[in-house]
Structure 1
Amino acid sequence: MTVITPELPRRLLGRFTAHPAILVVTAGCILLLAIGGIIFPAFLSPGYLLQQLQIASFLGVIAAGATLVILLGHIDLSVPAGITAVAVLTTTVAGSSTPSVAAVAIPIGLLGGALIGLINGIGVAFFRLPSMVWTLAMNSMLVGAVVFFTGGFKPRGVAPPLSISLALDRTLGIPNAFLFWIAVMIIIGLLFKRTVYGRYILATGSSEKAVYLSGIRVRLVTTMTFVAAGVFTAIGAILLAGYANQAYQGMGDAYMLPVLTAVVIGGTSILGGKGSYAGTVVGALFITLLSSILSVLQMPEAFRQIVFGLIILSMLLIRRFERNNR
């Protein structure tokens, strides 16, 4: 029988270990590089590889928020529409004829992402509704809001100069987007290693009931995590707007499956409490390289979605097999 004490979250945290999936996916990245080099020699050129790191950075930043939510034991399906909504909001404000308004486009975009996350968190933490259903409904409402705001036409506005610089420019030959992603990696790493909040996320994902009985404010942790996820989604949207120098309908539609796939194949349990952002990082690199090879082979988008879905199903079956053999 487990005794509920204030030290329980720390004991639960002890179960958090690096998953062998990280090594497997890393090996998969090396294999993809070899395959890419065979079918397309320029695949291994420094310029092309740096471009892949740049593209992977957008996925990796968005997947940072998804990782936090999944480690908590929930899932956020509002990511696609969240990306589109924040991108439209940011570019619209940035395109304002009033300089003082245009200058705050990025802060407003971040606040928009935080608001989306807050609504998601309240629904899951306080109304106790399944995160999958609540966030899917939120995704639908955001799609409707964007269509209503734009009238179904191409959104007006421009990307803020800072988002363009972060998404497209380079420092010493290295994409700024990748340097920014490295900063995100450091922040997430410190979050789990040096903060109580990070430990609470893992503990809650392992056993929400036990954490609640030990005196931790689970509702607050859950809400804060969804807000953080919303902010990371907003950052990704702002970077994507800078990369395309615009926002457009369905901008985030292509990211739902890749985001979930990057998190899951990196060893993070879909049930929460086990995994790491390091796994998501290698997962994002793997997905980016795989997508690049499929593009070189001129595979249709439908085939890519099938591949991502099969990867997720395979990882779920592997996790179930592991649990049954313990």
Structure 2
Amino acid sequence: MSGLASASGAPNPWLTAAAWRGLFRDRPMIPLLGLLAVLVVISDLVRPGIVSPEWVSVILRAAVLLAILAGCQTLTMLTGGIDLSVGAVASMSGFVVASFAAGAGTPTGIVVALVAAALAGFVTGIGVGVFRVHPLIMTLGMSFVILGLANVWQLQSVVTSTGVPPAFRWLGSQAFADVVPFSLLVFLPVAGLILVALKLTGYGRLLYAIGDNPVAARLSGARSWQVLVVLYVVSALLAAVAGFLYSGYTNVASVTLVDSAVLPSVAAAVIGGTSILGGRGGYGGTIVGTLILTVISSLLSSLGYPEAVRQILFGTIIVAVAAAYTRVTGEA
């Protein structure tokens, strides 16, 4: 009995649900890493021997792509927004580079794609920051505009899988010693910049402030519209980089290539602890959330269920994981 109570007879606070929630709230990475470890163990139990260096390489290659898109969602969600245009921007960027590769060259294609992405982000930022259009509506509308423009571009050019630049295929699908993905050469600097920006810069603090209390941030002298314009430009540029890697990973150039990754990118940020209401979260949790989703997807594929069943299970598991994380961390 002495192990269950303190000397005064009161319950041991470390054994109460509130105490555990407090611990997890202060250290939200603990339950995320614990869940990731459990999923890896389950994967190996379902398919004995599947967890290997090669399996880790496959997981990382897929996770890197989603993690960059999820970075876009993390940044925008910190301000209470969201970016549903990242799939269209990413698809458009990969397609534009592929269409230039055989003619003007890959470097020209990259420049054109980045400029187009930045312009799309600028328009989105003006809509959200200046005209106060809700981010969900603005980014959803922008995704349709981008898709339409990309389709017009597609009518003027013929792009096949061979149009994907070899450098993109090398970055997106190859690995050093067949274990360490070359895409980490892109992801690690990107992740480092996001983490540093959020933790150590005034701009990062402004993102949290706008999401936590936009009125107070505005009254404090912060020009929120400028912060939001820069935010959506950065988000679009990150999406463009993700699009380059996606085209290399799949060896496909398509104006709808990355559309299916938009909602998983939102889910990765939410599972990683970023609040959709703004003001709380971080990119470290998003990275782990991305790994969790990627392992879940791999696990469901290994079970051999039909695609429809996998989608149902994937969606159900995402909701359950997000609800459980909110419960154990005590976050609303």
Bucket of the pairwise TM-score, normalised by the shorter protein: 0.7 to 0.9
Q: Of 144, 148, 153, which residue of structure 1 is paired with 2:148?
A: 144
Q: State the Cα deviation string for residues 4-43 of structure 1 (Å, max 9, x = none).
A: xxxxxxxxxxxxx976543222111111111111121242
Alignment partner for residue 40 of structure 2, among 33, 38, 46?
33
Per-residue CA deviations over 1:164-214 (Å, capped at 9, x if unaligned) read 232133346511113432222211111122211111111111111101100
**Which residue of 67, 70, 73 maps to 1:66?**
73
> Which of 177, 180, 185 is 2:186 aligned to?
180
Is 1:237 the equivalent of 2:230? no
Provide the residue aligned with 1:208 in structure 2.
Answer: 214
User: Counterpart of 2:35 in structure 1: which amino acid?
Assistant: G
Superposed CA RMSD in Å reads 2.6
Aligned equivalents of 2:209 and 2:311: distance in 1? 33
CA–CA distance in 2 between the matches of 1:316 and 1:224?
32
Secondary structure of the 1:104 match is helix
- Aligned positions of 1:114-129 closer than 5 A: 114-129=118-133
User: Taking structure 1 as reference, are residues 297 and 323 closer, same or farther at Cα in structure 2, changes over 3 Å only?
Assistant: closer
Unpaired runs of 5+ in structure 1? 1-16
The 3-state SS of whatever aligns with 1:149 is helix
After superposing the two structures, state which structure 1 stretch, 152-161 or 102-111, moved more. 152-161
Mapping of 1:11-160 within 5 angstroms?
A: 20-96=27-103, 98=104, 101-151=105-155, 155-156=159-160, 158-160=163-165
User: Contact 2:99–2:157 at 8 Å: present in 1 too?
Assistant: no
Q: CA deviation at 1:313?
A: 4.7
Larger mean Cα displacement after TM superposition, 113-122 or 205-214: 113-122
- Residue 4 of structure 1 is matched in structure 2 by none
Q: Distance in 1 between matches of 2:134 and 2:203?
A: 22
Q: Tell me whether 230-239 or 32-41 shows the greater mean CA deviation.
A: 32-41
State the Cα distance separating 1:249 from its structure 2 match. 4.3
Q: Report the Cα offset of residue 148 of structure 1.
A: 2.9
Alignment of 1:164-313 (within 5 A): 164-171=169-176, 173-310=179-316, 313=319
Q: Which runs of 5+ in 2 are unaligned?
A: 1-23
1:121 and 1:79 map into 2 onto residues whose CA distance is 13
Which residue of 163, 167, 176 maps to 1:162? 167
- Aligned residue-pair number: 305
Deviation at residue 311 of structure 1 after TM alignment: 5.2
Of the structure 1 ranges 132-141 and 151-160, higher mean CA displacement relative to structure 2 is found in 151-160
User: Greater shift after overlay, 222-231 or 102-111?
Assistant: 102-111
Q: Percent identity?
A: 33
Code of the residue aligned with 1:158 in structure 2: it is G
Superposed CA offset, 1:35-89 (max 9, x none): 1111212421111111111111111111111110011110111122222211111
Counterpart residue number, 2:10:
none
CA distance in 2 between partners of 1:281 and 1:78 (Å): 20
Quick one: structure 1 residues 170 and 280, their matched pair in 2 at CA, closer, same or farther if it must change by over 3 Å? same
Give me the whole-angstrom Cα distance separating, in 2, the residues matched to 1:308 and 1:272: 25
Query: Could you tell me how far apart the structure 1 residues matched to 2:298 and 2:211 are?
Result: 34
Tell me the TM-score normalised to structure 1 length.
0.85
**Structure 1 residues 19 and 252: alpha-carbon distance in aligned structure 2, compared to 1, 3 A threshold:** farther
Cα distance 1:309–1:126, how it changes in 2: closer, same or farther (>3 A)? farther
After TM superposition, the score normalised by the length of structure 2 is 0.84
